[in-house]
C-alpha cells in the first residue's frame, strides 16, 4: 500500500465507530433502488459498515471489499442479517485480487471520493466486470455550478483531514478516463452533487 492509501485507510479505521452516526448522506430509498438492479455475481467496493447489505436479494452472491478492517468489522454484523450470501474481504479497490471478467455488477456508494487514485480503482473495476456487466454508483462529486464548486474546493482540505473523503472529485471525467460509458445518470438530493450512475465498460479496441 502506498503511504497515502495507508493514511486514508487509517482515517476510516479511526472514524469507523462513529461512521453510522455521522453518515446520513444517502437516503435508503436510493440505495434500495440501486441494489434492486443486481443479479448474479456482485462485487461491492468500499462496503464500509454495510449500509447496502440489507437491500441485496437472496439469489445473488455478494463479495464485498473494503481496505479498512475496522469498517469491515461493523459490516460483519450486518452481513449476518442479510438475505444474500455475503463474503467480506479486506482489499484495496486499486489492486483487486480477482480474475478478469468475474462480476455481473459492481456497486459503489460514496467510495470514489476517498480512493487515493480513483482512475486506478475504476480501471480495476472495469477489468473484473464481465463485458456485459454494469457499474452501479451513488457518488458525490464536484458541482458543475460555479459558486458551489468554489465552496467545495475551499472546504475540501478540511473534510479530507477529518474524514479522508474529497468533495471535489471529477468522477464523471474519471469514469470516462477509465473506459466507461455512462448509460444513465441522474441527480439525487442536493443540486448536482449526488448522482446515481449506471456505467458500462467500453469494449477494448
Ligand atoms: C464514505 S465510506 C462509504 C461506505 C459505504 N459504501 C456506504 O455507502 O455507507 C467510504 C468507504 O470506502 C472505503 N475505501 C476508500 N478507499 C478505498 C480503497 N482504496 N479500497 C477499498 N476501500 C476503500 C473506506 O474504507 C470506507 O469504508
CA pair distance 94, 133, nearest whole angstrom: 19
pTM of the model: 0.96
Q: What is 3-201's CATH number?
A: 3.40.50.150
pLDDT of the residue at 23: 72
Name which residue sits closest to atom 1 of ligand 1, judged by CA.
Answer: 110
| CA atoms of 172 and 135, how far apart (whole Å) | 13
pLDDT tens figures, 44-95: 999 999 999 999 999 999 999 999 999 999 999 999 999 999 999 999 999 9
Cell of 14: 479511526
Ligand 1 center to 192 CA (angstroms)? 21
Angle 69-80/3-15 helices, nearest 10 degrees? 50
What is the 54 CA–ligand 1 centroid distance (Å)?
A: 17
Nearest-CA neighbor of 23 among 33, 12, 32, 34? 12
pLDDT class of 205 with cuts at 50, 70, 90: low
The beta strand positions in the chain, using DSSP E, are 41-45, 61-66, 85-90, 103-109, 129-140, 180-187, 194-201
Share of the chain above pLDDT 90, in %: 89
Under DSSP, the state recorded for 22 is: H
The domains of the chain are located at: 3-201
CA 29 to ligand 1 centroid distance, Å? 20
Pocket perturbation via mutation, ligand 1, pick of 51, 114, 119, 121 by most ligand atoms within 8 A of CB: 114
Binned at pLDDT 50, 70 and 90, residue 162 comes out as: confident
Cβ atoms of 167 and 148 closer than 8 Å: no
For CA atoms 109, 115, 119, 121, give the dihedral sign: negative
Amino acid at each position: 500500500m502506498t503511504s497515502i492509501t495507508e493514511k486514508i485507510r487509517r482515517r476510516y479505521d479511526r472514524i469507523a465507530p462513529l461512521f453510522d452516526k455521522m453518515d446520513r448522506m444517502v437516503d435508503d430509498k436510493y440505495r434500495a433502488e440501486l441494489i434492486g438492479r443486481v443479479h448474479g455475481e456482485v462485487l461491492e467496493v468500499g462496503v464500509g459498515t454495510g449500509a447496502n447489505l440489507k437491500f441485496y436479494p437472496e439469489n445473488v452472491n455478494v463479495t464485498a471489499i473494503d481496505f479498512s478492517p475496522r469498517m469491515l468489522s461493523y459490516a460483519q454484523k450486518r452481513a449476518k442479517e442479510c438475505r444474500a450470501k455475503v463474503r467480506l474481504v479486506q482489499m484495496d479497490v486499486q489492486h483487486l485480487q480477482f480474475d478478469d471478467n468475474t462480476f455481473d455488477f459492481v456497486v459503489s456508494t460514496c467510495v470514489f471520493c476517498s480512493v487515493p487514485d480513483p482512475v486506478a480503482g475504476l480501471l480495476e473495476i472495469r477489468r473484473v466486470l464481465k463485458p456485459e456487466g454494469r457499474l452501479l454508483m451513488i457518488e458525490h462529486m464536484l458541482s458543475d455550478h460555479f459558486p458551489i464548486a468554489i465552496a467545495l474546493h475551499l472546504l475540501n482540505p478540511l473534510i479530507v483531514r477529518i474524514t479522508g473523503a474529497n468533495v471535489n472529485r471529477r468522477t464523471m471525467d474519471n469514469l470516462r478516463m477509465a473506459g466507461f460509458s455512462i448509460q444513465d445518470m441522474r441527480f439525487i438530493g442536493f443540486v448536482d452533487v449526488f448522482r446515481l450512475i449506471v456505467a458500462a465498460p467500453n469494449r477494448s479496441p
